């Protein structure tokens, strides 16, 4: 993980997390890994059948990398928000965990899911949304205090098992949203605002925070928050003192493509201060982003030192997560007796909490 020995192409590859086609490695994925040195992959339902197949896929993906392991991500958010349902422990969704309102259960569920993901070779779970919302299965609830404590518990549960876990949708897109200008000029602690779950997640050691693709409600900036230097650089990086990896949501989403092509969005995001670019499976768009970023550095539009800043953060996150390229498959790692017991207990408590 020595940045001085990396080529520009290898550095740019580390800044990308791409979706792939198929349930095994196909030609386009091999091209991204070997010729463009893409350093991170995320999987969706079209890539996932059951634990053994996923394990085979992740191990083959890692085999195509050099000395730096891949972050391999998935969204395993519980309930209907699971990417994998066959042969794994199913935790409740975030909304249900918020209704049960026991931090220990939230942490235990995160711990169990993380263990099973690691057994498949997956080392990142993109499931924690820090939004404060009443009617959303991807939110712990409408109470700021309770949402904050559950976000923190989930972060801790994942990190105990060395699974990276982005805290998503900064600066919040739920029922309660932050007033950006007021937050930037506020001299005291930002309690009772939509930023509180993110602040506590940072204090808990969250090494990834994603920026929402939506425009923020209380801001003069009408484009996606991803393009706002006020939000990314001045609020998150400087005001809140966040030193970890700032990542995007999918650059192929409509909220982005209405304003820019994926390649243009990638340039704007890097200029704004984003470190890691997430792009769904679209080979043409992915290659265009890679080539555009390489050309932007060669032409001087983006300095290589700016790229190096992000690469260092990503490599540091990989070091802190203790990434292991290869893991042995053992079917006994899934749906163990105590995890099934917790699954049943939480299902019962969910009924009572309704």
Nearest 5°: phi and psi at 74?
A: -155, 160
Q: State the pLDDT at residue 248.
A: 98
Q: State the pLDDT at residue 217.
A: 79
Q: Per-residue pLDDT for 66 more than 90?
A: no
174 falls in which pLDDT band (50, 70, 90)? confident
Q: State the pLDDT at residue 188.
A: 73
Domain residues for the domain of 211 are 17-346
Mean pLDDT value of segment 294-320: 97
Domain-embedded: residue 12: no
Phi/psi class of residue 103: alpha, beta or left (left: φ > 0; alpha: ψ in -120 to 50)?
Answer: alpha
Domain-embedded: residue 7: no
| CATH at 47 | 3.20.20.300
Q: How far is CA 187 from CA 148, 184, 190, in A?
A: 21, 8, 9
Phi/psi class of residue 335: alpha, beta or left (left: φ > 0; alpha: ψ in -120 to 50)?
Answer: left
Domain-embedded: residue 204: yes
* Domain count for the chain: 1
Give the percent of the chain with pLDDT over 90.
89
Mean pLDDT value of segment 84-100: 96
Domain-embedded: residue 8: no
Mean pLDDT value of segment 37-48: 97
Domain-embedded: residue 11: no
Residue-wise pLDDT for 95-147, tens only, equals: 999 999 999 999 999 999 999 999 999 999 999 999 999 999 999 999 999 99
Q: State the pLDDT at residue 190.
A: 79
Q: State the pLDDT at residue 234.
A: 95
Domain-embedded: residue 351: no
- Give the span between the Cα atoms of 184 and 173, in whole angstroms: 18
Domain-embedded: residue 82: yes
Q: State the pLDDT at residue 1.
A: 62
309 falls in which pLDDT band (50, 70, 90)? very high
Mean pLDDT value of segment 169-181: 90
**Mean predicted lDDT score pLDDT of the chain:** 95
Q: State the pLDDT at residue 2.
A: 81
189 falls in which pLDDT band (50, 70, 90)? confident
Q: Per-residue pLDDT for 7 more than 70?
A: yes
HEC per residue, the chain: CCHHHCCHHHHHHHCEEEECCCCCCCHHHHHHHHCCCCCEEECCHHHCCCHHHHHHHHHHHHHCCCCCCCEEEECECCHHHECCCCCCCCCCCHHHHHHHCCHHHHHHHHHHHHHHHHHCCCCEECCEECCCCCCCCCCCCCCHHHHHHHHHHHHHHHHCCCCECCEEEECCCCCCCCEHHHHHHCCCCCCCCCCHHHHHHHHCCCCEEEECCCCCCECCCCCCHHHCHHHHHHHHHHHCCCCCEEEEEECCCHHHHCCCCHHHHHHHHHHHCCCEEEECCCHHHHHHHHHHHHHHHHHCCCCHHHHHHHHHHHHHHHHHCCCCCCCCCCHHHCCCHHHHHHHHHHHHHHHHHC
Mean pLDDT value of segment 248-263: 97
Residue-wise pLDDT for 277-293, tens only, equals: 999 999 999 999 999 99
231 falls in which pLDDT band (50, 70, 90)? very high
Nearest residue to 15 via CA among 280, 283, 279 = 279
Domain-embedded: residue 6: no
Phi/psi class of residue 212: alpha, beta or left (left: φ > 0; alpha: ψ in -120 to 50)?
Answer: beta
């Amino acid at each position: 993980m020595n940045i001085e020995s990396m080529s520009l192409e290898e550095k740019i590859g580390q800044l990308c997390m791409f979706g792939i086609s198929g349930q095994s490695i196909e030609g386009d994925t091999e091209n991204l890994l070997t010729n463009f040195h893409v350093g991170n992959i995320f999987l969706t339902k079209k890539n996932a059948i059951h634990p053994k197949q996923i394990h085979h896929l992740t191990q083959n993906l890692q085999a195509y990398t050099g000395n730096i392991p891949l972050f391999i991500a998935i969204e395993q958010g519980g309930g209907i928000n699971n990417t994998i349902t066959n042969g794994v422990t199913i935790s409740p969704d975030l909304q249900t965990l918020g209704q049960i309102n026991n931090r220990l259960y939230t942490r235990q569920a995160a711990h169990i899911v993380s263990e099973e993901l690691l057994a498949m070779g997956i080392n990142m779970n993109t499931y924690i949304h820090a939004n404060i919302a009443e009617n959303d299965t991807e939110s712990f609830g409408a109470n700021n205090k309770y949402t904050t404590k559950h976000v923190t518990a989930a972060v801790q549960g994942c990190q105990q098992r060395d699974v990276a876990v982005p805290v998503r949708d900064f600066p919040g897109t739920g029922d309660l949203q932050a007033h950006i200008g007021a937050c930037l000029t506020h001299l005291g602690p930002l309690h009772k605002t939509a930023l509180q779950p993110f602040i506590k997640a940072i204090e808990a050691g969250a090494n990834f925070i994603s920026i929402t693709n939506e425009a923020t409600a209380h801001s003069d900036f009408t484009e996606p928050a991803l393009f706002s230097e006020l939000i990314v650089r001045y609020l998150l990086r400087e005001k809140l003192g966040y030193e970890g990896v700032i990542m995007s949501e999918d650059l192929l989403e409509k909220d982005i493509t209405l304003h820019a092509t994926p390649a243009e969005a990638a340039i704007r995001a890097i200029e704004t201060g984003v470190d890691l670019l997430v792009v769904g499976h679209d080979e043409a768009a992915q290659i265009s982003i890679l080539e555009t970023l390489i050309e932007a550095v060669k032409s001087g539009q983006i300095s290589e030192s700016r790229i190096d800043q992000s690469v260092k953060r990503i490599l540091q996150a990989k070091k802190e997560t203790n990434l292991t390229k290869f893991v042995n498959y053992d079917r006994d790692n899934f749906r163990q007796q105590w995890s099934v017991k917790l699954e049943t207990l939480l299902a019962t408590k969910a009924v009572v909490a309704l």
